[in-house]
Structure 1
């Protein structure tokens, strides 16, 4: 068994050679067994040819005249059609010569009076001043709110940091609190291999 695995290439080559020889011999066997079919087919073809020859001889007494060849009637020569439509037609220049009708001029726009224009500008200037005052007031209020919020945030941070630190130090004074702090350092701190 080991010899087969060690010489696997030789075994495969031998199997391929045997398969090749079997396939090559197989068509010869089929050809030897099927000569009756080929002979039968040849015989039928020969009979068909003989039958057609006999039919022609019997009908050959009256020679068949070939049908007259019909030639197409000659048509008058047509001029080839230009794919681009040929030379420009005479109508085209007349179309180009026509000019579009001038559009009717619109009636003149009535000019507003100078007093109305000045009054409108004065109203717009007053509205702009009011809007500027409102914007300045809103900016001042926003700045006050921001400064108050920042002050509250600073106070809360300072108070919370002091309270938390005092509680932590008080907790470390007891033995139970100290053990908890050591365990937390082991769990939350850097790994031992990186210290």
Structure 2
């Protein structure tokens, strides 16, 4: 399961400190997100990759901000996992309430900065090892005559960041951080292609072949 961290706080750098007590109920928010995706490529070797993007939503009325659907819409646009929605919504609601009821209550223009990070679950290398053993025990009959790729070839596959998000042809979900096959044209999720190559030694799309475990 992915891990989430969220912290919403008043951004005094951008908050307008002009006192407008004559219009205390007309409040507008600027909400800025620093959203980081942390990918654990190898838990054993502590290999990680992070990607941070900034999103800004301006001139949002207090009434709009205090509607859960508003924030959920933003998070959907940002591709935040749905499991994290409730944490982010709760933090923003609390920050906004504290601002309008506290020291910022006489200000009209308010700014909130949200630091949000998602640590993507690491590849379960133990499962992969189990898959390797399982495939060797099953033999070629269950694999319909396919021969698994050499373990050394699987381990040497290059992990890459996909410049333009594409679909993994195995699980049909988007690939952001993936593994490039030797053909250099096709990229898959690490876990997907490892399981595939533990059954057969060819690229799922172009059928380029890797050395097999029986190759000399």
Q: What TM-score do the two structures reach when normalised by structure 2?
A: 0.17
Higher-strand-fraction structure: 2
Q: Higher relative CO (CA 8 A, sep ≥ 6), structure 1 or 2?
A: 2
TM-score (norm 1): 0.18
